[in-house]
Amino acid sequence: MSGTAGIAATPYAELPAQMVDELAAAGLDPEAVHAAVAAALAEDLPGALGDVTSVATISADARGTAVFAAREPGVVAGLGIAALVFAYVMGDEVVVSDRLPDGTRVVAGDAVMRVEGPVRGLLCAERTALNFASHLSGVATATSHWVAALEGTSARVLDTRKTLPGWRALQKYAVRCGGGVNHRFSLSDMAMVKDNHVIAAGGVVPAYDAVRARFPEVPVEVEVTDLDQLRALLAAGCDRILLDNMDTATMSEAVRITAGRASLEASGGLTLGRAREVAATGVDFISVGALTHSVVVFDLGMDLQETA
Burial profile 156-175: b = 16 or more Cβ within 10 angstroms, e = fewer? bbbbbeebeeebbbbbbbbb
For the domain 148-293, what is the CATH code?
A: 3.20.20.70
pLDDT averaged over the chain? 96
CATH topology of domain 4-139+296-304: Aldehyde Oxidoreductase; domain 3 (3.90.1170)
Distances (CA, A) of 83 to 13, 95, 113, 160: 16, 9, 9, 27
Q: How far apart are CA 213 and CA 23, in angstroms?
A: 38
Q: Check pLDDT > 60 for residue 1.
A: no
Hey, CA dihedral for 89, 91, 93, 99, is it positive or negative?
A: positive
Q: pLDDT tens digits for 257-291?
A: 999 999 999 999 899 999 999 999 999 999 999 99
Beta bridge partners of 222: 193, 241
Confidence (pLDDT) at 49: 86
Q: By C-alpha distance, which of 48, 111, 49, 45 is closest to 76?
A: 111
Confidence (pLDDT) at 6: 79
Where along the chain do its domains lie? 4-139+296-304, 148-293
- pTM over cut 0.85: yes
Report how far Cα 127 is from the mean position of its chain's Cα atoms. Answer: 19
Q: Kindly list the catalytic residues.
A: 127, 162, 194, 223, 244
Which phi and psi (to 5°) does residue 307 adopt? -95, 150
Other CB atoms closer than 10 Å to residue 115's CB: what's the count? 28
Torsion of CA 124, 129, 132, 133, to 10 degrees: -150
Q: pLDDT tens digits for 185-220?
A: 999 999 999 999 999 999 999 999 999 999 999 999
Q: pLDDT tens digits for 113-153?
A: 999 999 999 999 999 999 999 999 999 999 999 999 999 99
